[in-house]
Chains A and B, each alone.
Chain A
Amino acid sequence: MIKIAVYGKGGIGKSTTVSNLSAVLAKNGFKVMQIGCDPKADSTSTLRDGKPMNTVLDLVRTKKNDFALEDMVTEGFGGVICVEAGGPTPGLGCAGRGIIAALEKLKEKGAYETYQPDIVFYDVLGDVVCGGFTMPMRDGYADKVFVVTSGENMSIHAAANIAVAVDQFKDRGYAQLGGLILNRRNVKNEEEKVQELAEDIESKIVGSLSRSEYVQDADAMHKTVIEAFPESDMAKEYTLLAQSILAECGREVSLC
C-alpha cells in the first residue's frame, strides 16, 4: 500500500490535482482511496459528480460510534473510495484536532484492512499550521509528502514552510518529502523559481501541470479532466504526473 500526502497553499489546486491522479490510477486498475482532510469536505467532489456525502466528523458528531465503515465512504469514478474528514463549523472548534479524530476513526473502523487500497491519497488543507495538519504525515499514515506549488511567491513560501516541517520531523519517523508538483499559473520565470525552491529544500520537481481551460471546464461539470476529457493533453499531463509520483514511491509503471 502506497500512502501519499499532498500539501500546498490553499487554492493552489491540490484537490483538483489529487482527484485527477486518483482517476488516472483507478482507470489503470489500481484500487485508490482519497481522503480529504479539509473541513470544507470538497476534496473528492469531482470524483463523485459533486453529489453530497457524509463526512467522518459529521457521523461521529451525530451518531457517536453507532455507524459502519461503509457510512463513511462513497465510491467515486473508477471505484475510487472517497472519504471526507470534515470538520467544525468555520470559526469554531479545532480543525486540526478534527483531522486527527477523523483519521483515527477511519483506522479504528478498519478502513485500510477492509478496502486494502493500493494507493491512499491524503489531500490536506493548506499549510501545516498546527499539530493536527501533520497527522497525515505521521507514522502509520503517509510515507511520502508531495507539495503542490505554482511560481507565485505566496505559494513558494507555503511550500518552503511545509518542506521545513517535513525535515524537522524526520527523527519522528514521519513521511519523507517526495517532491514538488508545479501547477503553473503562468507567472514570470515560474519554472526557474520553483526549481530554485526545489534546490533549496534538496528536493525536485516530480511533474508539472499546465494552466488549462480543461480543468475549469471539467470542474464546472463536477468531473475530473480524466473523466470529462480523457483524450485531452491535460489528461496526458495528469497521467505522466501519476507515473512520476508512483516512481518516486518505488513503483515503476507505465500508465495510459
Chain B
Amino acid sequence: MKQTASIISTYASDVSGVCSALYELGGMTVMHDPSGCNSTYNTHDEPRWYDFDSLIFISALSEMEAIMGDDDRLIEEVVETALQLKPKFIAIAGSPVPMVIGTDFKAIARVIEKKSGIPCFGFTTNGMHSYLSGAGMAFEAFAQRMVDPADKAEGKHRVNILGATPLDFSVNGSVDSIKIWLEQNGFEVNSCWAMGSELEDLVHSGRADVNLVVSQSGLKAAKVLNKQFGTPFVMGVPVGLDCSKLLAERLIQAEQSGQCSTSFTRNVVNGEEDIVLIAESIYGCSLASAIEQKTGKNVRVICPLEGEKDILMPHDVFATDEVELMPVLEKAKIIIADPLYQPICPKDAKFIPLAHEAFSGRIYRSEIPNMIGEGFNHWFAEHIGG
C-alpha cells in the first residue's frame, strides 16, 4: 500500500524539524496541536531535551477551538507567555488539525508580533512532510528575516555550517568534529545552523566567505544567503579522510570563484550496484563517495526523504515508502541503513546498521557513529573492511 509504513518506522515530521532547527537559538517555539503530542518531539526527536533548556510549548488545541476557528486563545497565551519569558523570537508551527481547518499561521504570527513586539514566525507545517522540510523552512525564514543585511564577507575563510540538527547528526560529537575539521583546514567557523552557536552568530552569517551545507535542511537558507550576500555554498559532509580533503578544496574553490558546488565523487554504475545505502541525500552522497573511493565498489543511494535530484547519480533513487523501497532492496547484496529498515531487507543480504536519529529516535542513539574525517575509517574497518 502506498504512503503506508506497516513494517518500518517513519521519519520525524516537519513540526519536529522546526523545533529541532530552532532549539538552541533562544526563541520560543509553539506547536499548535492537541496536548500530548509534544512528547512525540521532546522525548523521541530531541536528544537535547534533558540537558539543554529550550522554550518548547504545545498549544493544546481543543476540538471546539478547531471547529470554531478560534485563534484568539492561542494568540493571547503566546503573547502573555512571551512577555513573561522574553524569548528572542517566537515560532508557531502547525500540525494536521490546523492544516485541515486552514489556519493561517502567517497571519497569526503577524498579530502576535504586533502585540508582543517580538519577531514571530508562522510555519505552515502539517505533520505530512519530513523533518527536513520543517527544519528547511525554519532556517530559510531565519535567513530571510534575522540575518543582518549590513554584513559582508571579509576574506577571512569564514564558513557557516548550514543544516546541522541532531535529527541528522545526533549528539555524538559529529557536528563538533565538522567544526574541528574546518579549523584544521584553515577555516574559521562563523556560525553553525544550528548546533553550538548563539543566535547572534547566525545573525552575522553574512560575514562568511562560503557556506557548507551538511544536509538538505540547510539548502534553502544557503540559497537565500547566496542571493542576499553572494555567498557560495558547497554541499557535502566531511566523511572519511580522502573525501574530506576534496571537500576542503571545494570550499576554497567556491570561496575564490563564487560558484556553488558539491563534493561528491561517485561511480557511474551501468550494471548492478554492490552496496545499497539508505540515507538523507547529502549525507548519503558523502558517505557513498567515501565508500566507493575506499573500496572501488558501487554504491546506490536510496533517498527516502525530500532531496535535490541533481546531486544524486542516475542509479540512485528517491523511494519514500515500503512499496517503493522493497523492490529496490530485493537484489541488494549489502545494505547500509537504519536498523529499523532491516525487516524489509532480503534475508540473504548483509545488513550493516547505520542508525539515523530522525528514523529510529533514541533506540540506537548510542550506536550512531561519528563519521567525520577519520571516524569513517573506524566504522569502515569494523563493518565493511577490505
User: Residues on A close to B: CB < 8 A?
Assistant: 94, 96-97, 100, 130-132, 134-135, 138-140, 169, 171-174
Contacts and interface: CB of A to CB of B under 8 A. Distances in A.
A225 B81 CA distance: 57
- B102, B103, B106 pick with most chain A CB within 10 angstroms: B102
A131 B69 CA distance: 7
Contact of B102 (A135, A139, A140, A173): A135
B104 interface: yes
B43 to A, nearest CB: 31
Given A171-B111, A171-B114, A130 B102 contact: yes
Summarize B's interface: helix, strand, loop or mixed: helix
B378 interface: no
B384 interface: no
A100 B114 contact: no
Contacts of B103: 131
B111 A134 contact: no
Contacts of A131: 69, 101-104
A140 B69 CA distance: 21
B1 interface: no
B107 interface: yes
Closest 5 CB pairs of A and B: A172-B107, A131-B102, A100-B102, A132-B102, A171-B111
Contact of A174 (B100, B101, B107, B108): B107
A172 B102 contact: no
Contacts of B108: 172
Contacts of A96: 102
Nearest to B69: A131
Given A132-B102, A140-B106, A172-B110, 13 more contacts: A97-B102, A130-B69, A130-B102, A131-B104, A134-B102, A134-B104, A138-B104, A171-B110, A171-B111, A172-B108, A172-B111, A173-B106, A173-B107
A97 B104 CA distance: 12
A172 B100 contact: no
A120 to B, nearest CB: 19
Interface residues on B, range: 10 to 19
Contacts of A134: 102, 104
6 contacts: A94-B100, A97-B102, A130-B69, A131-B101, A173-B106, A173-B107
A225 B101 CA distance: 38
Contacts of A138: 104, 106-107
B234 to A, nearest CB: 28
A138 B100 CA distance: 17
B7 to A, nearest CB: 24
B114 A139 contact: no
A117 to B, nearest CB: 23
Interface string B104-133: 101110110010000000000000000000
- A97, A131, A139 pick with most chain B CB within 10 angstroms: A131
Interface in B58-78: 69
Contacts of B106: 138-140, 173
B107 A169 contact: yes
A171 B79 CA distance: 15
A169 B104 CA distance: 11
Given A96-B102, A97-B102, A100-B102, A139 B107 contact: yes
